[in-house]
Amino acid sequence: MAKIKARDLRGKKKEELLKQLDNLKVELSQLRVAKVTGGAASKLSKIRVVRKSIARVLTVINQTQKENLRKFYKVSGGVWGAAWL
């Protein structure tokens, strides 16, 4: 798997990101099994790339969730509404 770029992930929907996250986790578990059973060096170096890709997907998911919450509370006036005005 090639390195995943965050800008490519930002255009995807949450369902697609979660599906990709599951695929990456499965791939990581397979690579860890290969590591224990004495896999090739190319597979061992791929572990780092997959871990970083998982981190990127999770980062994009969390950033979009926070951005959506910011938009929601900015429009609705926050938890307290107009009480602070």
Domains assigned to the chain? 6-76 (1.10.287.310)
pLDDT at 28: 96
Query: Quick one: pLDDT band at residue 44, thresholds 50, 70, 90?
Result: confident
Phi, psi of 33 (to 5 degrees): -65, -40
The residue type of 82 is A
How much is the mean pLDDT over the chain?
A: 87
Among candidates 53, 58, 45, 51, which has minimal Cα distance to 4? Answer: 53
Query: Quick one: pLDDT band at residue 24, thresholds 50, 70, 90?
Result: very high
67: buried, middle or exposed (CB in 10 Å: 19+, 13-18, 0-12)? exposed
